[in-house]
Chains A and B, each alone.
Chain A
Amino acid sequence: MITHELIERIEGEALIDFRTDRSGRVQDAQIRFLHFRGMEAILEGRHPLDALVIAPRVCGICGHSHLIAAVEAIEAAYRHSGAEVKLSMKARSIRNVTKFSELLQNHLKWLYLIMLGESAKLLREEHPLPLKALNAASQANRLAALFSGQWPHSSYALPGGVTCDPTHIEIMQALKILAELERFVEAEVLGCSFGEFETIRSYRDLTALGGDFGKLLQNVERLGLADTGHSHGRFLVLGEHPGCRSMAIDGNTRRAADVANVSEDASAVIEGKTYAKNALYEGAFYETGPLARALVSGRSVIGAIHEAHGDSASVRIAARMDEMVDLLKNIRRLIETLDLSEPSYIAPPPIETISGEGRGIVEAPRGSLIHTLRIEKGKIIAYAMITPTQWNLGNGTAVSPGVAQKAMIGAQSRDKASFLFRTFDVCSVCTTH
C-alpha cells in the first residue's frame, strides 16, 4: 500500500511516500521536497559580497552557517587567485562563537519543539510547549547577536574578518549569558553537572539521566525504537570542527575525506519527484551531522555507545545532546581566550581585482555544508551549495536507499518511521534552497 505522509513542524515541509506491507510495516519510503527558490541562480552574476547578504537567507535556522561558508568561499577565491587574505585569531574565534551558538540553539529547539513533543504524541501523552526551552534557545541567539548584530540572518562577517569590535562589556555580557545556558543545560537538559556527565560511559546511564535528554531517550525506548533506525554505518565530516578533522568512516575503516570525491545526483529532480538533489561521497550516501562529528572526534561516551548499538535512533539522539555540552565548553574557551587587542578585520585587496575559485566548508547544525563559487573580476560567475540535509535525506531507491530512507525501512508503522525521519533533524528549505 502506498501512502503520502506529510512531515511538517520542520523548516518547510516534506512529503514521504510510504510503501507498507499488510501489517503496516514500512517497505520503502520516498522522500520528496516540494518547495524551491533558486538561490544559486539568484547569486550568479552578482557582486561577491552580495553572497553575504543573500546566502544566509537560505535558512532561518542555520543562516549563520551559510554566512560563514560564503565568506570562507570568498576568502578561498582570494587565495586561489594568488591574493593574500589574513584573519586574526580574534576574528576566527568570534566567527566560531557565533557559529557554535547557532548549533546550540538548533539542538535545543530540536529537542524541545520537535522530539519531546513528537515522542509524547506517539505515546499519547501531553507535552506542552515549554517556555523554559524557548527562553534558553533565545539566550543562545542573544549570545550570537552580541557579536553578529542579530539572529537570524546576520551578515557581520567579511573577507578578512568581522565588523564587530567587542569591548570588555560585551565579553562580560557574553559570559553572563553563557553561564545561564550552562546552568540550563545542566539542570534541565542533562539533570546532572557537566562533571558527572563526563563520567558516563554506557547507554544505560544516559537513559537514567533525570533531565529532558534522559526523558527523550526513555520515550524512544518505550516506543520500542531505541535499537531501530539503523542506516549504512557510513559517516562523513568535511568541515573543521573542534577536535574533528575531515574524515570518512565506512564500517571499521577511517580515512581522510577529500571534498573532490563529493558529487550531486539530480535525477530525482529531473524526473519531477522532488526539488532536492542527492549529495554523494564516492558515489554513495554518507551520514553527516552530530553523530558523524562525535565518531570522528572520538568523543568517548558516543563512541562507546555506537560500538554497542550501531547507528541507531537513540545513538543519533545522544550524539546531538552530547554535542551541546561540547559546544558550551568550546564557546567558553573561545570567549575566555579572546584577545581584544587584535584587529577584528584586516583589509584584503579590493574584490574587483579577484578572479578565482573558492570553497567554504562549515560543520552546520545538521552536518557538512559546502559553498563553492567562481569569481571573475569581482563578479560571481557560478555559485553552488551542498547542504547537510541533502546528505542525510537523499532520495535513493528501495535497493540503494538514502541515509534516512534506510533508517525508516523496516519500521513497524508510518508514524514510527516519521519519528525516525525526524531524528535526522529534518530541514526542507536548506535541502532544496
Chain B
Amino acid sequence: MAERREAFKMLFSANSAKVETNKGDAYYDRLFQQCRARLDELKASQPLQAIDFHEILSDEGYDRREFMKWASAATAMLMLPPMFTPLVAEAAELMTRVPVIWLELQDCAGNSEALLRSDGPKIDEILLDIISLEFHETLMAAAGHQADAQLEDAMHAFKGKYLLFVEGAIPMGMEGQYGTIGASGETFHEHLVRVAADAAAVVAVGSCATYGGIPAAAPNPTEAVGVMDVLKGKPIINIPACPANPANMVGVILHFVLTGQVPELDSLLRPKFAFGYRIHDNCERRAHFDAGEFVEEWGDEGAKNNFCLYKMGCKGPMTFNNCSIVRYNEGVNWPIGVGRGCIGCSEPDFWDKYAYERPMSDANIKAPTGGVEKTVDQFGLGVLTATAVGIGIHAAASAVAGKKSDEGEAQ
C-alpha cells in the first residue's frame, strides 16, 4: 500500500503528467495564507459528527507517518506544491465540517457504487465514511418520508454551506414526467433546482450529470440533459466519466475544505487537476504508440504483448482524465490493462461518438500531434469532438446529430 502511494505521488508530480499550473511563489504564498485562514475558521466551527479522526485511523491500522504519506500524495494529485502537505492533512481531519448532500436523478447508481470503493489508499475510504454525508439515498440510515424530512433539515441547517453532489441526468421531455421523486411527484428538474438553490457549489458526478450521459444518447428518448444545462447562477464542478473516479470526488471535496473554493476548471467545468491531460499522456502502453507497435486485431500477437490499442479504437488520445494514473478499484486495474481500449467515457457525447469498435485511426481525423501535454482548452475541443460539444446544447445536438455509427468522427 505504501509503495503504491509513493508511485501515485511520483506519477502525479512527474513532468509529463502535469498541467502547467505553477503560478509562482507569490501566488502560492497568498493561497497558503488563504487556506490557513479557512482551516482555522473551520476548526473553530462545530464538527457535524463527533468523530475522533486519528482514533479511527489507528483503529484501521494507520499511524501518523502513513497518514502524512497519504497527505503528500493527495497534495500532488491536487497539483499543489509540497508546502501544502500539512494543510491537506489538516483539511482531511476537518472534512466532517463540510456538509454534503447527494442527489440521485436519472442514473444507474454507478457513481454511488464507485464512491463506495474509493481508489487506492484506504484512508480515502475512511474519509468517505466520515464526511458529513447529510443526505444520500443509498447510504443514509433514513428512508422514505423520514429521508424527505432529513433532506429538508439538512438544506435548512446548512443553508449556503453544503456541497451538492448530483448523480444522473435530468429528463426534460414530457414536462419532466420521466423522472419524479417522492409522494408529491416533484420532477427531477424541480427537485434539483430547489435543492441547489442554497448550495455553496454543485458537483455533477459522472457523465449523466455532466453531459446527459447514456440517457441522452440518440434518440434521447427522455430529452435528458446535464446539470449545467438547467442550473444557472451557481458554481458548478463537472466530474465526468462513467463512472466518475472516486479519487476525483474526494479531490474536489478536499479542495473545497482546504480553500473554500472550487478548484481551477477548464471550459467544460472540469477540475484541471484531474482533467488537465489526456489518458494517452500517461498510458502504460504509450511507448508502443511511440514505437508504432499496435494491436491490429483482437487476440493477435500485439494484444498478447500489450501493444497500443489505438487502431482498435482506443480513445485515450482524445480523452481528458487521470485514469491512466489513478486506475480503478483500488488501483488493481483499468480498461486498457485488460486490452480493451478507452471508450472516452469522460468526453461529451461519448455514447454517440466513441463506442470502441470504430477505430479513430480509420476515421477522418488526424492523430493528435503537436505535443501531448496540451490541455483541453488549448487543443482538442474543436478538432476532436467537433460537432456536438458545447454547454447547453447536448440534448438538441444528440437528437439532431442522430446516431453517428458509420460516419466516423469527422467534422
A25 to B6, CA, bound (A): 59
Within 8 A of A (CB), among B168-210: 171, 178-183, 185
| In contact, B114 and A152 (Cβ under 8 angstroms) | yes
Is A263 close to B, CB under 8 A?
Answer: no
With contacts A8-B144, A148-B338, A150-B329 known, is A60 near B299, CB below 8 A? no
| In contact, B117 and A141 (Cβ under 8 angstroms) | yes
| In contact, B110 and A63 (Cβ under 8 angstroms) | yes
Across the two chains, which residue of chain A brings its CB closest to B181? A13
Is B287 close to A, CB under 8 A?
Answer: no
With contacts A46-B405, A145-B332, A344-B299 known, is A153 near B117, CB below 8 A? no
Query: CB < 8 Å: which of B106, B138, B242, B405 contacts A50?
Result: B405
| In contact, A37 and B109 (Cβ under 8 angstroms) | no
Is B218 close to A, CB under 8 A?
Answer: yes
Q: Please give, as numbers and ranges, the residues of chain B lying within 8 Å of A418 by CB-CB distance.
A: 143-144
Query: CB < 8 Å: which of A47, A118, A160 contacts B355?
Result: A47
| In contact, A150 and B335 (Cβ under 8 angstroms) | yes
Q: Please give, as numbers and ranges, the residues of chain A lying within 8 Å of B242 by CB-CB distance.
A: 57, 153
Type the 1/0 row for B318-344, where 1 means its CB is closer than 8 Å to any CB of A.
Answer: 000000000011101111111110010
Is A11 close to B, CB under 8 A?
Answer: yes
| In contact, B108 and A158 (Cβ under 8 angstroms) | no
Q: Please give, as numbers and ranges, the residues of chain B lying within 8 Å of A58 by CB-CB distance.
A: 108
Q: Please give, as numbers and ranges, the residues of chain B lying within 8 Å of A11 by CB-CB distance.
A: 108-109, 138
With contacts A50-B355, A138-B330, A429-B109 known, is A131 near B126, CB below 8 A? yes
| In contact, A138 and B108 (Cβ under 8 angstroms) | no
| In contact, B334 and A53 (Cβ under 8 angstroms) | no
| In contact, A50 and B357 (Cβ under 8 angstroms) | yes
With contacts A137-B117, A149-B337 known, is A12 near B109, CB below 8 A? yes
Q: Which stretch, A161-169, A214-222, A304-312, A326-334, touches the partner chain B?
A: A161-169
| In contact, A6 and B298 (Cβ under 8 angstroms) | no
Across the two chains, which residue of chain A brings its CB closest to B245? A150
Is B147 close to A, CB under 8 A?
Answer: yes
B57 CB → nearest A CB, Å? 12
| In contact, A346 and B405 (Cβ under 8 angstroms) | no
Q: Which stretch, B13-21, B158-166, B219-227, B276-284, touches the partner chain A?
A: B219-227
| In contact, B109 and A165 (Cβ under 8 angstroms) | no
| In contact, B113 and A60 (Cβ under 8 angstroms) | yes
Across the two chains, which residue of chain B brings its CB closest to A91? B299
Is B265 close to A, CB under 8 A?
Answer: no
Q: Please give, as numbers and ranges, the residues of chain B lying within 8 Å of A12 by CB-CB distance.
A: 104, 107, 109
| In contact, A379 and B328 (Cβ under 8 angstroms) | no
Is A244 close to B, CB under 8 A?
Answer: no
Across the two chains, which residue of chain B brings its CB closest to A55? B214
Within 8 A of B (CB), among A1-56: 4-13, 15, 34-39, 41-42, 45-47, 49-50, 53-54
Type the 1/0 row for B32-49, where 1 means its CB is closer than 8 Å to any CB of A.
Answer: 000000000000000000
| In contact, B222 and A37 (Cβ under 8 angstroms) | yes
Is B297 close to A, CB under 8 A?
Answer: yes
Q: Please give, as numbers and ranges, the residues of chain B lying within 8 Å of A47 by CB-CB distance.
A: 355, 357-358, 405-406
Q: Please give, as numbers and ranges, the residues of chain B lying within 8 Å of A57 by CB-CB distance.
A: 108, 110, 213-214, 242
Query: From DSSP, what is the main secondary structure of chain B's interface residues?
Result: loop
| In contact, B145 and A142 (Cβ under 8 angstroms) | no
| In contact, A149 and B183 (Cβ under 8 angstroms) | no
B202 CB → nearest A CB, Å? 20
Q: How many residues of B contact A (CB 8 A)?
A: 74
With contacts A54-B217, A152-B113 known, is A163 near B108, CB below 8 A? no
Is A100 close to B, CB under 8 A?
Answer: no
| In contact, B339 and A163 (Cβ under 8 angstroms) | yes
Is B356 close to A, CB under 8 A?
Answer: yes
Is A424 close to B, CB under 8 A?
Answer: no
Within 8 A of A (CB), among B117-152: 117, 122, 125-126, 129, 137-141, 143-145, 147-148
A61 to B338, CA, bound (A): 21
A141 to B182, CA, bound (A): 31
| In contact, A154 and B335 (Cβ under 8 angstroms) | yes
A35 to B107, CA, bound (A): 9
Query: CB < 8 Å: which of A34, A37, A163, A275 contacts B338?
Result: A163
Is B351 close to A, CB under 8 A?
Answer: yes
| In contact, A34 and B343 (Cβ under 8 angstroms) | no
Q: How many residues of A contact B (CB 8 A)?
A: 77
| In contact, B333 and A9 (Cβ under 8 angstroms) | no
Is B72 close to A, CB under 8 A?
Answer: no
| In contact, A61 and B336 (Cβ under 8 angstroms) | no
A308 to B403, CA, bound (A): 55
A343 to B300, CA, bound (A): 10
Q: Please give, as numbers and ranges, the residues of chain B lying within 8 Å of A37 by CB-CB distance.
A: 106, 171, 178, 214-215, 221-222, 224
| In contact, A150 and B334 (Cβ under 8 angstroms) | yes
Is A85 close to B, CB under 8 A?
Answer: no
A330 to B140, CA, bound (A): 33
Query: CB < 8 Å: which of B122, B217, B329, B405 contacts A151?
Result: B329
Is A391 close to B, CB under 8 A?
Answer: no
A164 to B403, CA, bound (A): 29
Query: CB < 8 Å: which of B106, B221, B304 contacts A35?
Result: B106
Is A156 close to B, CB under 8 A?
Answer: yes
A164 to B183, CA, bound (A): 46
Q: Please give, as numbers and ranges, the residues of chain A lying within 8 Å of B403 by CB-CB distance.
A: 45-46
| In contact, A53 and B343 (Cβ under 8 angstroms) | yes
Query: CB < 8 Å: which of B113, B356, B406 contacts A155?
Result: B356
A11 to B219, CA, bound (A): 24
B309 CB → nearest A CB, Å? 9
A121 to B142, CA, bound (A): 9
| In contact, B141 and A117 (Cβ under 8 angstroms) | yes
Q: Please give, as numbers and ranges, the residues of chain B lying within 8 Å of A135 by CB-CB distance.
A: 122, 125
Q: Please give, as numbers and ranges, the residues of chain A lying within 8 Å of B183 by CB-CB distance.
A: 4-6, 15
A23 to B405, CA, bound (A): 59
Query: CB < 8 Å: which of B108, B114, B138 contacts A9?
Result: B138
B330 CB → nearest A CB, Å? 6
Query: CB < 8 Å: which of B110, B125, B144, B171 contacts A6?
Result: B144
Is A134 close to B, CB under 8 A?
Answer: yes
Is A146 close to B, CB under 8 A?
Answer: yes
B61 CB → nearest A CB, Å? 12
| In contact, B110 and A153 (Cβ under 8 angstroms) | yes
Other than A57-B108, A155-B356, give 11 A-B pairs with Cβ distance below 8 A: A6-B148, A6-B182, A9-B138, A12-B109, A38-B222, A53-B351, A53-B356, A147-B338, A158-B298, A163-B340, A347-B299
A-B contacts, 11 listed (Cβ < 8 Å): A4-B183, A6-B148, A37-B215, A47-B357, A47-B406, A134-B116, A145-B328, A149-B328, A150-B334, A155-B340, A163-B339
Interface residues in chain B, defined as those with a beta carbon under 8 Å from any beta carbon in chain A = 60, 104, 106-114, 116-117, 122, 125-126, 129, 137-141, 143-145, 147-148, 171, 178-183, 185, 213-215, 217-222, 224, 242-243, 297-299, 303-304, 328-330, 332-340, 343, 345, 351, 355-358, 403, 405-406
Interface residues in chain A, defined as those with a beta carbon under 8 Å from any beta carbon in chain B = 4-13, 15, 34-39, 41-42, 45-47, 49-50, 53-54, 57-61, 63, 109, 113, 117-118, 121, 127, 129, 131, 134-135, 137-138, 141-142, 144-156, 158, 160-165, 173, 275, 343-347, 351, 379, 418, 429
10 A-B pairs closest in CB distance: A60-B110, A38-B221, A345-B299, A4-B183, A164-B338, A138-B117, A150-B328, A145-B329, A60-B109, A149-B338
